[in-house]
């Protein structure tokens, strides 16, 4: 039995909990929502609603550029498409397929856009996922792209954390809540079925069943002509998977690769990116390597081999080539690889420049070797280009500057962590010391790369503050080893890294502890909670968004069990021993002095339970600490469902920090 006086705040529906949230929101708005807040919010809203933003498109194989777009006139958004010729224009003629605001008005709902899967090769139908208030759980409804309307008797799924993929016009693979026992303990599909048009969901044929404590199972159909395959993927943990290919007759054959490897099949090729050393064919490949072979064979060619400074960031297929983005000390480079014997031919793609990032926006491997590539930096707005492997790239869009970069520069430093590890971080700002805002994440092998954040630019840099990004362990900046170094019992290394960056910023004269604010969300919110309770003397103010904080109960709340591979299982005594060392909710003390902190979350967050933030705030209030709270009803794990809500949250965060740090 867990002794927790604030368990009642985990309830989403109880009137007492709702009243508590309303009271805390009102307190925060009374304290912060003045004329300065309004100016900051308006400046942020102008950025978020700007028609000059790049509408990053997707390709669905039919020659159109598809885009989902939100602005002041369409707060819930438009799903639309245009031709390649029109997209090149400054003001393309967009064909609106679905107006989510109009749909909400017609149906009396609060839908937010979630996802879409277009039928290939027909391109006349799609499956649209819509969520209420931005939650992960969504409804799925079939949509006719010719008539621009939902199909009355089409494929439809009720609200759940579903996974669905087209097989052909009359069949889909579906994983959803089929009833008791059909979901994993993390709340995701455990069973995947084949569902035929015109039949009830209850009649769908079971294709595969995972185990109750798996993360999820899913299935997809590869429509590539000449290489059509049905693939079932089981995820026993967050970082492991089994890939099974259906043989003629329906039997499933598992692909023989390591369980912790990423595996992808494209036409005749199979890619394997290993997370731990793998010996195959008498050769041992280090973690982070990318290998390729012809599907069904075992003669692997090395496409990428990491070193202590360089890792693989991402990859994308065109029809005949493979595009790679690599990072060296968190600086990206992009390449095109062409199959060859004995080695694949490698050529560079357009570079992003120093302290910037490049990413592949889109390819269409069914059609051709074209690609969309983008780049941006902390002080350089994004550029989107269209290229074809082997040819030049054409600039399609340039985003304008939303703040003046004059007097600002970007620098990269390396801090030394407690165990001697060099930890990179970026600082954006002027030469004079002053208020600074440091952000970080440090989990799930996610890398933080340089990016143009116009909200930070307008709301922080333009006011004279410096902005910093810490590339701590637990992330993916240096590949799987950088992530694995802060897993489970080694989690404290990520927190030591962040503390080392904070101390290094002070030692270099960039700021002082009293003027150093920090922010992070989700796993980064947990990072903030640990910094607050473990290193309070290093910071002047803290903001934690949609955070994990109660590591004693996190596995019992929503999707928490899916992260056991990252953090450990608090119900196992040996795991709780290392979790209890840093779990913020269990480590806040009435006799310690903490910097002021703002927690924010969303009632509709069905990934990280809002109870984490609620309970932490209640406990800190009871102990007499300086703590503020804001809970947005909608938004899901993103925290906001439209641009107005997003502007409110960002303005609250920036105003809170500025007032606490600038005295």
Residues with a known catalytic role? 522, 637
State how far the Cα of 520 lies from the Cα of 60, in Å rounded to an integer: 34
Tally: H helices and E strands in the chain: 13, 39
* Pairing of the two strands 383-388 and 393-398: antiparallel
How far, in Å, CA of 663 to CA of 661, rounded?
Answer: 6
Q: 483 phi and psi, to 5 degrees?
A: -70, -50
Which structure tokens are listed for 39? Answer: 């100016």
9 touches 550 (CB < 8 A)? no
Q: Which of 550, 648, 553 is nearest to 600 (CA)?
A: 648
Rounded to 10 degrees, the C-alpha dihedral 624/627/628/632 comes to: -110
Q: What's the rounded Cα separation, in Å, for the pair 439 and 613?
A: 19
Provide the β-strand partners of residue 370.
388
* Residue from 660, 526, 649, 654 nearest 582 by CA: 526
List phi, psi (to 5°) of 625: -85, 165
Q: Look up residue 166 and give its two tokens.
A: 């087209």
Cβ–Cβ < 8 Å for 567, 491? yes
Classify residue 403 as left (phi > 0), alpha (psi -120 to 50) or beta: beta
Q: Compute the C-alpha angle 518/312/298, nearest 5°.
A: 145
Question: Which are the contacts of 36, defined by CB distance < 8 A and separation ≥ 6?
Answer: 655
Cβ–Cβ < 8 Å for 241, 233: yes
DSSP letters of 187-210? SSBSEEEEEETTS-GGGPEEEEE-
Q: Which H/E stretch holds residue 302?
A: strand 301-304
| Contact criterion met (CB below 8 Å) for 210 and 216 | yes
> Residues 379, 401: contact at Cβ < 8 Å?
no
Which of 316, 255, 307, 264 has the alpha carbon at shortest distance from 286?
A: 307
How far, CA to CA in Å, does 567 sit from each of 120, 238, 385, 632? 39, 11, 40, 27
Q: Compute the half-sphere exposure of residue 289: CA atoms within 13 Å on the CB side of its CA.
A: 18
Asked if the bond preceding 390 is cis, omega within 30° of 0, the reply is no
* 653 vs 524: CA distance, rounded Å: 15
Residue 362's alpha-carbon distances to 22, 39, 267, 359, in angstroms, are 43, 36, 18, 9
CA distances from 519 to 98, 469, 604 (A): 36, 10, 21
Rounded Cα distance, 532 and 616, in Å? 12
User: What are 81's two structure tokens?
Assistant: 């498409």
The set of residues, in sequence order, having a beta carbon less than 8 Å from that of 393 and lying 6+ positions away, is 349, 350, 373, 385, 386, 387
Cis omega (within 30 of 0) for bond into 342: yes
Separation CA 127–CA 81 (nearest Å) = 16
């Amino acid at each position: 039995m867990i002794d927790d006086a604030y368990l009642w705040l985990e309830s989403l529906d109880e009137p007492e909990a709702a009243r508590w949230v309303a009271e805390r929101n009102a307190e925060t708005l009374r304290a912060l929502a003045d004329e300065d807040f309004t100016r900051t919010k308006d400046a942020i809203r102008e950025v978020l609603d700007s028609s000059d933003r790049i509408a990053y498109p997707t390709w669905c194989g039919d020659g159109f550029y598809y885009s989902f777009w939100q602005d002041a006139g369409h707060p819930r958004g438009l799903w639309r498409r245009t031709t390649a010729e029109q997209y090149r224009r400054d003001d393309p003629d967009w064909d609106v397929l679905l107006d989510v605001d109009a749909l909400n008005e017609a149906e009396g709902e609060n839908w937010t856009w979630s996802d879409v899967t277009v039928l290939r090769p027909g391109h006349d139908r799609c499956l649209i996922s819509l969520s209420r208030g931005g939650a992960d759980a969504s409804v799925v409804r079939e949509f006719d792209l010719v008539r621009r309307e939902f199909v009355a008797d089409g494929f439809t799924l009720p609200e759940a954390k579903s996974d669905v993929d087209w097989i052909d016009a009359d069949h889909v693979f579906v994983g959803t809540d089929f009833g008791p026992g059909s979901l994993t303990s993390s709340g995701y599909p455990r069973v995947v079925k084949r569902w035929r048009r015109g039949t009830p969901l209850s009649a769908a044929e079971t294709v595969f069943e995972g185990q109750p404590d798996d993360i999820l199972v899913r299935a997809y159909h590869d429509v590539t002509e000449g290489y059509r395959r049905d693939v079932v993927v089981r995820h026993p943990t967050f970082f492991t998977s089994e890939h099974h290919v259906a043989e003629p007759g329906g039997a499933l054959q598992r692909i023989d690769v390591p369980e912790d490897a990423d595996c992808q099949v494209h036409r005749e090729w199979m890619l394997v990116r290993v997370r731990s050393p793998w010996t195959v064919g008498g050769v041992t490949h280090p973690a982070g390597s990318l290998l390729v072979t012809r599907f069904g064979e075992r003669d692997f060619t090395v496409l990428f081999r990491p070193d202590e400074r360089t890792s693989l960031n991402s990859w994308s297929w065109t029809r005949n080539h493979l595009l790679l983005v690599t990072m060296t000390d968190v600086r990206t480079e992009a390449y095109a690889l062409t199959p060859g014997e004995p080695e694949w031919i490698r050529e560079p793609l357009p570079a992003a420049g120093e302290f910037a990032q490049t990413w592949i926006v889109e390819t269409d491997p069914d059609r051709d070797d074209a690609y969309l590539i983008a780049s941006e930096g902390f002080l350089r707005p994004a550029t989107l280009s269209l290229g074809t492997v082997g040819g030049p790239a054409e600039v399609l869009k340039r985003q304008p500057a939303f703040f003046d970069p004059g007097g600002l520069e970007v620098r990269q430093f390396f801090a030394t962590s407690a165990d001697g590890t060099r930890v990179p971080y970026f600082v954006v700002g002027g030469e004079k010391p002053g208020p600074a805002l440091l952000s970080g994440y440090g989990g799930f092998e996610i890398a933080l790369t340089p990016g143009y954040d116009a909200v930070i630019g307008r709301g922080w840099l333009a006011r004279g503050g410096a902005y910093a990004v810490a590339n701590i362990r637990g992330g993916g900046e240096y590949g799987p080893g950088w992530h694995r170094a802060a897993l489970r019992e080694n989690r404290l290394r990520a927190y030591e890294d962040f503390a080392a960056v904070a101390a290094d910023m002070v030692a270099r004269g960039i700021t002082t502890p009293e003027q150093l604010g920090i922010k992070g969300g989700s796993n980064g919110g947990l990072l903030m909670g640990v910094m607050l309770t473990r290193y309070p003397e290093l910071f002047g103010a803290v903001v934690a968004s949609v955070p994990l904080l109660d590591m004693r109960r996190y596995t019992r709340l929503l999707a928490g069990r899916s992260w056991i591979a990252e953090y450990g299982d608090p119900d196992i005594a040996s795991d709780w021993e290392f979790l209890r060392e840093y779990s913020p909710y269990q480590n806040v003390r009435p006799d310690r002095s903490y910097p002021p902190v703002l927690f924010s979350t969303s009632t509709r967050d069905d990934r990280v339970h809002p109870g984490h933030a609620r309970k932490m705030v209640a406990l800190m209030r009871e102990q007499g600490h300086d703590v503020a709270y804001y809970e947005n009803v909608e938004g899901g794990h993103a925290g906001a469902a439209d641009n107005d809500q997003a502007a409110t949250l960002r303005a609250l965060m920036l105003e809170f920090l500025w007032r606490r740090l600038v005295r």
